[in-house]
Amino acid sequence: MILLVTGGAGYIGSHTLIELYRAGHTAVVVDNLSNSNPESLRRVAKIIGVTEIPFYKTDIRDREGLEKVFSKHHPDACIHFAGLKAVGESVEKPWEYYENNISGTLVLVDVMRRHGCKNIIFSSSATVYGDPAEIPITEQCPKGQCTNPYGWTKSMLEQILTDIQKADPAWNVVLLRYFNPVGAHPGGTIGENPNGIPNNLMPYITQVAVGKHPELGIFGNDYPTPDGTGVRDYIHVVDLAAGHVSALQAIRRRCGLAVYNLGTGHGYSVLDIVNAFQRVNGVQIPYTIRPRRPGDIATCYSNPAKAQKELGWKARYGIDDMVRDSWNWQRHNPDGYPEE
Ligand code: NAD
Ligand code: UFG
């Protein structure tokens, strides 16, 4: 298939491009580079052995720009990663988040249908479950109250895409709810490249390891979990990327609307991650216990059985691979991608 990959220069998009090409697909990337660097695409091209990945520095809110890409490439389906994703920033800039993520997706979907491309895989998040009603979380678990505008954009976009599919059954909409993506391509040339101080646990740990911060702050050790720190379902980004290739099967069999959790089904605490990182990489991570972070929940991990049953997809990498590959990327690229 020919895939339009929005946000393809970003962390998950760049890893997904590799898996798509390996599976025999081709891709065209649209990204406004608001949170990424085109160097990622050059490195992806090198990994997969092509001269370049077709790339347009275009905003998904730019209807004319998207029209041109569709007229030239005629994609069969879109894998839609483009969006703003910083939870804290979304609380300070709700308008910017709703406008970018929701308006952008509305423009994209309109251009898609005008070009007869009615297949979309959407990057959703476990955040739509809010404080989950059941653990492990199945896709049947009711959606919950999000604690920030970023989360609401995911929840609302799921609803918008669901309604569009209901009104026009020619659409195939696959909602992928990611748990906590970490790790990097094992070659260490592409990885997560956060702007400023990382919000998420793994990039913070790797930046402590590389000496950019003196210590990790652990947000609370009084949760009702085995060691008191928050428990999450960390998933290697290469497994997550492969999940998108598997999700194309749902499109092929004309699924209509399909929802899948992409997680491993295992929960690890913050201290589990710190300990695994230290053990596997032989690097100490000093930390202090700080107050809980507002909006955090105690425990969040998936039941990924549906994706295995229907797509034949299962995460292959374990926690040791995740901490090894996260560190491998960071130590070889302490400042991320070079500034353009
Ligand atoms: P990322 O920021 O690395 O990638 C997103 C890409 O989208 C960036 O390259 C950015 O430049 C681009 N972009 C943003 N707004 C755009 C616009 N209006 N037009 C064109 N391009 C635009 O983030 P990521 O971690 O790779 O996440 C990819 C998707 O997965 C996002 O939608 C994110 O919300 C979702 N997701 C991420 C996580 C996570 O923890 N990383 C978890 C759940 C869901
Ligand atoms: N944590 C710390 N210190 C830090 C950062 C995080 O102790 O410096 C803790 C958090 O309190 C939490 C755990 O590490 O217990 C994981 O936190 P992250 O910020 O890495 O991830 P979240 O689970 O909060 O959220 C992430 C993404 C969301 C996405 C969600 C899906 O940020 O966008 O995973 O489950 F929706």
Ligand 2 cavity residues, CB under 6 Å? 85, 87, 125-127, 179-180, 199-201, 204, 216-219, 230, 232, 270, 293, 296, 300
Mean pLDDT in the chain? 97
Q: Exposed/middle/buried for 135, CB within 10 Å: 0-12, 13-18, 19+?
A: middle
CA of 85 to the centre of ligand 1 (A): 6
Q: Which ligand is nearest to the CA of 85?
A: 1
- pLDDT, tens only, 135-165: 999 999 999 999 999 999 999 999 999 999 9
Q: Which residue has the tokens 């956060």?
A: 194
- pLDDT, tens only, 81-129: 999 999 989 999 999 999 999 999 999 999 999 999 999 999 999 999 9
- Going by pLDDT thresholds of 50, 70 and 90, the confidence category of residue 224 is very high
Q: Exposed/middle/buried for 208, CB within 10 Å: 0-12, 13-18, 19+?
A: buried
Query: Quick one: DSSP state of residue 221?
Result: S
Q: Helix 39-48 and helix 11-22: axis angle, to 10°? A: 20
Catalytic residues: 150
Q: Exposed/middle/buried for 169, CB within 10 Å: 0-12, 13-18, 19+?
A: exposed
Ligand 1 near 263 CB (within 6 A): no
- pLDDT, tens only, 239-253: 999 999 999 999 999
Query: Quick one: DSSP state of residue 98?
Result: I
Cα 262 from Cα 302, distance rounded (Å): 8
Q: Which pLDDT score, from 0 to 100, does residue 195 have?
A: 85
Q: Indicate the Cα dihedral angle 184, 128, 267, 123, nearest 10°.
A: -20
pLDDT above 90: residue 340: no
pLDDT above 90: residue 214: yes
